[in-house]
Amino acid sequence: MAAITVGGLPPLTTTCGYHSHAQMRSHRKVAPVKSIEVGQEGNLEQVVLPQHGADRFQNAGVTVLATPVLCHWFESAAVRAIAEQLESGEATVGTRLRIEHLKATPVGMQVRVAARVVAAEGRRVDFEVSAFDDVELIARGTHERVVIDLERFLARVQAKRAAAVKRGPDVH
């Protein structure tokens, strides 16, 4: 079983590119998702190419679909499932992905990936994900995405970059 978890962002503070508390309060917050409904589905079909192989991820000689590529495809299908419901200036970020990669898929075989909304609460959207090759179910799992204000998110990322440059590299 492959599990990939990406932690959420830290709480917003005045050190994240805002000059005053008033500026922070006036910045647009993302409203809870209302138009995303349980059952919405995003799909993706891909042929497994040599660059999708596990051997491209330091797994010498294993020329089958790599788990990291499958994870990317799950995220892409989830984004497709809800893209039309997002307001202008909104995006989503993946915050949790838990999968079971059950069967190997050789290069040249087609893979069909689906992400189905199973819950939408506040800004969080939960999905069930699955992938089938030409023969069988190859992977299944769950995925969580959070709706964000893209401008605000990117400002926080830029502030983090600026703080890191100012501080210098960490030595461990």
What per-residue confidence (pLDDT) applies to 167? 79
What per-residue confidence (pLDDT) applies to 44? 97
DSSP-based three-state secondary structure for 105: coil
Catalytic, out of 41, 63, 67, 95: 67
Supply the CATH classification number for the domain 30-167.
Answer: 3.10.129.10
DSSP-based three-state secondary structure for 130: strand
Please list, residue by residue across 33-54, b when 16 or more beta carbons sit within 10 angstroms of its beta carbon and e when fewer do.
beebeeebebebebebeeebbb
Domain residue ranges in the chain = 30-167
Q: In what order do the strands lie in the sheet with 2-5?
A: 2-5, 90-101, 137-149, 124-133, 110-121, 41-47
Determine whether 27 is an active site residue.
no
Determine whether 101 is an active site residue.
yes
More confident site: 129 or 20: 129
Catalytic, out of 52, 75, 143, 144: 75
What per-residue confidence (pLDDT) applies to 65? 98
Determine whether 75 is an active site residue.
yes
Does this model's pTM top 0.75? My answer is yes
Question: What does the pLDDT average to over 6-15?
Answer: 33
Tokens 């993946």 sit on residue: 94
- Which residue type occupies 80? R
Catalytic, out of 101, 105, 143, 144: 101
63-122 per-position pLDDT tens digit:
999 999 999 999 999 999 999 999 999 999 999 999 999 999 999 999 999 999 999 999
- Measure the CA–CA gap between 71 and 98, rounded to whole angstroms: 9
Long-range contacts from 126-132, C-beta under 8 angstroms, 24+ separation: 127/78, 127/81, 129/74, 129/77, 129/78, 129/99, 131/70, 131/73, 131/74
**In whole numbers, what is the pLDDT of the chain averaged over residues?**
84
- Which residue type occupies 166? K
Please, which pLDDT band fits residue 9 given cuts at 50, 70 and 90? Answer: very low
- Measure the CA–CA gap between 102 and 76, rounded to whole angstroms: 20
